[in-house]
């Protein structure tokens, strides 16, 4: 699967006050994102472009977060979210597989991160997918996957990239194995272009599989 095709599965998640996160289409009407991007009792819309390049929106009908989800001063635990939208996505939007098995990804291995955020504060070009090939610096099954630019050029997740997919690519087999949770600057402060933190999916396999089944069976809003 070519990078351009992979990127067609990556969409935007728009909330109150034009807040923005990134999400990945994993089914006809299902998405994966970061848990902190979907607050209970809040309305969200999924932003994408149709086959003619025209921006479209799809209302979010349901959101779920793991029971372990918890936001605190030291970060967010189990920062994952699953969404169901009002109507199926058009054919020009790609769907990708979710990798839930324990993965051999380890320190130094490369993964592909695609986000629809912005490269620096003040720019408003959300919804333009940008790609980064990053290297892992922590074990895949640790509470967080830590990712850095292997070339040292300051590439990493930025504003609006929360919820972005972390892809493991082996030959033609492409799977989402993690979700971006936070970003830092090269100076290790709040910002972007430095350390990228992601949540691996494998430790939450039971919750993800069970929740996907529940959402598939839930009727869409009319």
DSSP assignments along the chain, one per residue: --HHHHHTTEEEEE-GGG-EEEEEE-SSSEEEE-GGG--TT---EEEEE-TTS-EEEEEEEEEE--TT-EEETTEEES--EEEEESSPPPTTS---EE--S-----TT-EEEEEE-SBSSTT---TT--EEEEEEE-S-TTSSSEEEE-TT-S-----BT-TT-EEEEEETTEEEEEEEEEEEB-TTSSBSSSS-EEEEESGGGHHHHHHHHHHHHHSPPP-
- Tell me, yes or no, whether 103 and 55 share the same domain: no
Q: What is the pLDDT of residue 124?
A: 60
Q: Picking from 67-71, 72-76, 96-100, 188-192, which range would have the lowest pLDDT averaged per residue?
A: 188-192
CATH no. for residue 132? 2.40.10.10
Q: What is the pLDDT of residue 115?
A: 92
Length of the chain: 222
On whether residue 91 sits in a domain, the answer given is: yes
- Tell me, yes or no, whether 105 and 85 share the same domain: no
- Tell me, yes or no, whether 150 and 195 share the same domain: yes
Q: What is the pLDDT of residue 202?
A: 93
Q: What is the domain extent for residue 183? A: 98-202
Q: What is the pLDDT of residue 119?
A: 67
- Tell me, yes or no, whether 59 and 32 share the same domain: yes
Asked whether the predicted pLDDT for residue 58 surpasses 70, the reply is yes
Q: Picking from 46-55, 62-71, 169-178, 198-207, which range would have the lowest pLDDT averaged per residue?
A: 169-178
In this prediction, residues 58-70 reach a mean pLDDT of 96
Cα-based angle 152, 79, 204 (whole degrees, multiple of 5): 105
Q: What is the pLDDT of residue 152?
A: 86
Domain count, the chain: 2
- Tell me, yes or no, whether 124 and 54 share the same domain: no
In this prediction, residues 15-43 reach a mean pLDDT of 94
Indicate the Cα dihedral angle 93, 117, 180, 155, nearest 10°. 120
Task: Let me know: does 34 contact 3? Beta carbons within 8 Å.
Answer: no
Q: What are phi and psi of 58, to 5 degrees?
A: -130, 125
Share of the chain above pLDDT 90, in %: 61
Q: What tokens appear for 145 in the block? A: 């996957």
Dihedral (CA of 98, 65, 203, 160) sign: positive
Task: Tell which wins on pLDDT, 217 or 139.
Answer: 217
pTM: 0.91
CA distance 179 to 58: 21
Cα-based angle 177, 219, 32 (whole degrees, multiple of 5): 15
Q: What is the pLDDT of residue 221?
A: 65
On whether residue 222 sits in a domain, the answer given is: no
In this prediction, residues 154-169 reach a mean pLDDT of 91
- Mean pLDDT for the chain? 88
In this prediction, residues 175-199 reach a mean pLDDT of 83
- Tell me, yes or no, whether 122 and 73 share the same domain: no
In this prediction, residues 134-159 reach a mean pLDDT of 84
- Tell me, yes or no, whether 191 and 103 share the same domain: yes
Query: Which residues are within 8 A (CB) of 107 and not within 5 positions of it... i.e. 6 or more apart?
Result: 136, 137, 138, 139
pLDDT bucket at 219, cuts 50 / 70 / 90: confident
> Rounded to a whole number, what is the largest CA-CA distance in the chain?
49
Q: What is the pLDDT of residue 43?
A: 95
- Tell me, yes or no, whether 57 and 128 share the same domain: no
């Amino acid at each position: 699967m070519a990078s351009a095709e992979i990127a067609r599965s990556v969409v935007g998640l728009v909330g109150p006050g034009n807040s923005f996160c990134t999400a990945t289409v994993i089914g006809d009407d299902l998405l994966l994102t970061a848990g902190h991007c979907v607050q209970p009792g809040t309305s969200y819309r999924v932003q994408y472009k149709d086959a003619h390049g025209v921006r479209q929106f799809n209302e979010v009908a349901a959101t779920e977060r793991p029971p372990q989800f918890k936001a605190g001063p030291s970060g967010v635990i189990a920062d994952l979210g699953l969404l169901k939208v009002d109507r199926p996505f058009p054919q020009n939007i790609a769907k990708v597989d979710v990798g839930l098995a324990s993965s051999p990804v380890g320190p130094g291995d490369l993964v592909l991160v695609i986000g629809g955020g912005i490269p620096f504060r003040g720019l408003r070009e959300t919804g333009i997918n940008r790609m980064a090939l990053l290297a892992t610096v922590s074990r895949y099954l640790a509470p967080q996957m830590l990712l850095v630019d292997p070339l040292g050029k300051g590439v990493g997740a930025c504003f609006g990239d929360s919820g972005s997919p972390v892809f493991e690519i082996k030959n033609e087999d492409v799977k989402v194995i993690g979700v971006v949770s936070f970003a830092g600057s090269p100076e290790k402060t709040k910002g972007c272009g430095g350390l990228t933190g992601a949540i691996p999916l494998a430790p939450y396999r039971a919750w993800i599989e069970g929740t996907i089944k529940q959402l598939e069976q839930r009727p869409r809003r009319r």
